[in-house]
Amino acid sequence: MRRSKRRAGWKPGRWRAAREGVPETAAVASVPNRNVSRAVVAGLVVVSAFLLLWNLGDQRLWDDEAQTALISQTILDHGLPLGHDGVNSFSQEAGAEFGADHVYKWHPWLPFYLLAAFLRLFGVSTFTARLPFALLGIGCPVLLYFLATALFARRRVAIAAATLLVFSVPFLLLAKQCRYYSPAMFLSLFGLYGYASGRHRGVLAPASVLLFYTQNIYFLTLWLAVLVHAALWKTERRKELLLLCAAAAALCAPWLIYTTSVSYRQAYPGVLTWAQFVRFLGPFAGQIRAYLFSPFVLLVPAVVAVVRVLRKQAPIVRGQWNGVALLLIYLVVSYLVLCSFSVLPFFRYLGPMIPVLCLLTALLLEGLASIHTLVFVAAVAWVILSGNIGRYLHEITHDFRGPIRGITDYLQQNAKPSDVVAISYGDLPIKFYNHLRVVGGLTGEDLTPGRRADWIIMRKHVTCVKDLEVARYLQHNVDWKSYTRITIDAPDTIFENREDPAVHLFESNTTEDKVVILKRIGG
C-alpha cells in the first residue's frame, strides 16, 4: 500500500516547498507554530472584545445609527427594509432613498438583515443594535493576522499588524457603530485574504458579493486591486480571476437594476465630476495622514539602513514585494475610487483601508527588529500610544451624557404616546427610543404638523441646509406664546457622538449650552 505524503514525513512547509519551489528549510521556518497562532488569535479576540463590547450600550445611537436600527426593525414586521413605517419617515436625504412603496434602496440590505436577526433574537436595545457590528469588528484583527501571514509568512509582522489594529482608535470607533462600517472592513479583509491565500473561488468571490450587498463601492475597490495586482504578479491566474469577477458582478447586477429609481447624482449633483474628484483628494489624504498613517514611519527604512551600514551589516533583503505591491495597489485604488464616488469626504469611507495601513505600518517598523527587538516593540507602542487609546479607555469606562440621551430620557418620562415632536435635527433617535410621531430633521417631509407640535426642539447647531430649512420654517410658523421653555441637563452638542475622530467626544461636554425643549401649554 502506498503511504501518503503526510505519513511519509511531509510537513506543511514541505508541501509549500514542493508547490512553490522555495527552499524547504525556509518554507518550514515560515509556517507559524499552530499553538502560538492559536494563542495570538485568542489574545486578539479577548482584547478586542473588551475594547469593543465594554459599555457598548452606554451612549445613545446618533442619527446615522438610529436610521440603521429603525430600518432594520421594519424587516421584523414587513420582511423588507422600509424607509417609512406608516407613521415616521427614516430619511436623511429628503426622501430620495425610497419611492412610493417606501422600500429603502439607498444602501444595500445585508447590514439591515443582519441587525434584524439580532433584534429578533435579543430584543431591541442600544446594546443589541451595535452588537453584530462589534462582533464583526472583533474578527477584523484575526483576519488581518492571517492575511499578513499569507502575504509575508512572518509571525512578527502579523502580530504587530493585528496589535496596531486592535488598538487603533479610528478602527474601534467605526467598528462599534450600528452601521455598515464593520461588515465592510471585515469582508474587505476576508476578500484580500482569499486572494492572498489562493482561495479565489471559496473565499474571494463570495466575500466580494457579500461586500457588494454591504456597501457596493467596496466591491469595486477590492476587485480593481486584485485584478491590477494579478496583471502584474499573477499572470497565470488572470483569466480565472476575470471569470470570477464577472460571475460575482452577475450576482450583483440585480441590485443595480432594482435600484435604478434611486439617484445619487440627483441628491448630490457633484458626484462623478472631475471638480469633486480633485476637491476630495486633499481631505481624504489629510485624514489618512492625521489618523491612520504617520509619515514618520516612512523614515524607518532609512534609519535601519544607516544603522546597518555603521554596524557593517549587509542590507536586509526580503522577497516581499509581491505582498507589498498588493497592499499599495489596494490603498491607491481605494483612495482614487473614494475621491471619485463619495458624496462627501467622510472619514468613515476610509474604513476598509485602516487594516491595510496597519499592516503596511507593521512592515515598515519591522526593520527596527534588526537593531533590537525592544526598539521594534517600542516603535509599535509609540504608534499605539500616540493615537488616543488612553482617551478611548476613559470613554468606555465612564458614563457619557449627550443631547440625545437628555432628550430621549426627558420625553420618556414626560411625553404621552399620542404626542407630536418637532425637531430641527435629531429626529431619528427619538423615533427609535420614544416611538412618537416626529417631524423635522433631514426627512424633507411636510412640516405642517410641527406648527402645533406638543414638543418643539430647536437644536443650537445646524448640520446642513435640510435642517436649516426646518429651523426657519418653525421659527416663522409656530406661535411661540403657546409654549413654555424647559432647559434640561444635557449639552446641546451638534451630535450625540460621531464616529469621525475629528469630532468624536471621549467624555461628556460640560461647557456647551444646555438643550432647550419647548412644551405646548395645555398640551
Q: Is residue 384 part of a domain?
A: yes
241 with 366, same domain: the answer is yes
Q: Is residue 188 part of a domain?
A: yes
148 with 195, same domain: the answer is yes
414 with 448, same domain: the answer is yes
Q: Is residue 77 part of a domain?
A: no
Q: Is residue 364 part of a domain?
A: yes
Q: How far apart are CA 461 and CA 465, in angstroms?
A: 12
Which of 367, 396, 425 marks a domain boundary? 396
The pLDDT of residue 266 is 79
| CB burial of residue 126 (10 Å; 0-12, 13-18, 19+) | buried
Distances (CA, A) of 165 to 142, 145, 248: 10, 10, 29
The pLDDT of residue 523 is 52
Q: Which range marks the domain in which residue 422 is found?
A: 403-520
Q: How far apart are CA 250 and CA 239, in angstroms?
A: 17
| Domains: count for the chain | 3
Mind listing the pLDDT tens digit of every residue in the chain (523 residues)? Answer: 444 443 334 344 443 443 344 444 334 444 446 777 788 889 999 999 999 999 999 999 999 999 999 999 999 999 999 999 999 999 999 999 999 999 999 999 999 999 999 999 999 999 999 999 999 999 999 999 999 999 998 899 999 999 999 999 999 999 999 999 999 999 999 999 999 999 998 999 999 999 999 999 999 999 999 999 999 998 899 999 999 999 999 999 999 999 998 888 778 887 888 899 999 999 999 999 999 999 999 999 888 888 877 877 766 656 678 899 999 999 999 999 999 999 999 999 999 999 999 999 999 999 898 889 999 999 999 999 999 999 999 999 999 999 999 999 999 999 999 999 999 999 999 999 999 999 999 999 999 999 999 999 999 999 999 999 999 999 999 999 999 999 999 999 999 999 999 999 999 999 999 999 999 997 5
Q: How far apart are CA 232 and CA 241, in angstroms?
A: 13
3-class state of residue 402 by DSSP: coil
CA angle 349, 65, 112 (to 5 degrees): 85
Closest by Cα among 194, 498, 136, 171 to 350: 171
What HEC string does 94-158 produce?
CCCCCCCCCECCCCCCHHHHHHHHHHHHHCCCHHHHHHHHHHHHHHHHHHHHHHHHHHHCCHHHH
Q: Is residue 85 part of a domain?
A: no
The pLDDT of residue 112 is 98
The pLDDT of residue 406 is 97
408 with 369, same domain: the answer is no
421 with 340, same domain: the answer is no
Q: How far apart are CA 425 and CA 455, in angstroms?
A: 13
221 with 343, same domain: the answer is yes
The pLDDT of residue 303 is 87
Residue 263: count other Cβ atoms within 10 Å of its Cβ: 11
Q: Is residue 366 part of a domain?
A: yes
Compute the Cα dihedral for 455, 458, 462, 464 and give only its sign.
positive
Bridging pattern class, strands 455-457 and 514-520: antiparallel
415 with 314, same domain: the answer is no
Which set of grid coordinates corresponds to residue 198?
489562493
The pLDDT of residue 271 is 80
The pLDDT of residue 28 is 41
458 with 478, same domain: the answer is yes
Q: How far apart are CA 499 and CA 178, in angstroms?
A: 10
Q: Is residue 61 part of a domain?
A: no
Q: Is residue 108 part of a domain?
A: no
For 79: left if phi > 0, alpha if psi spans -120 to 50, otherwise beta; the answer is left
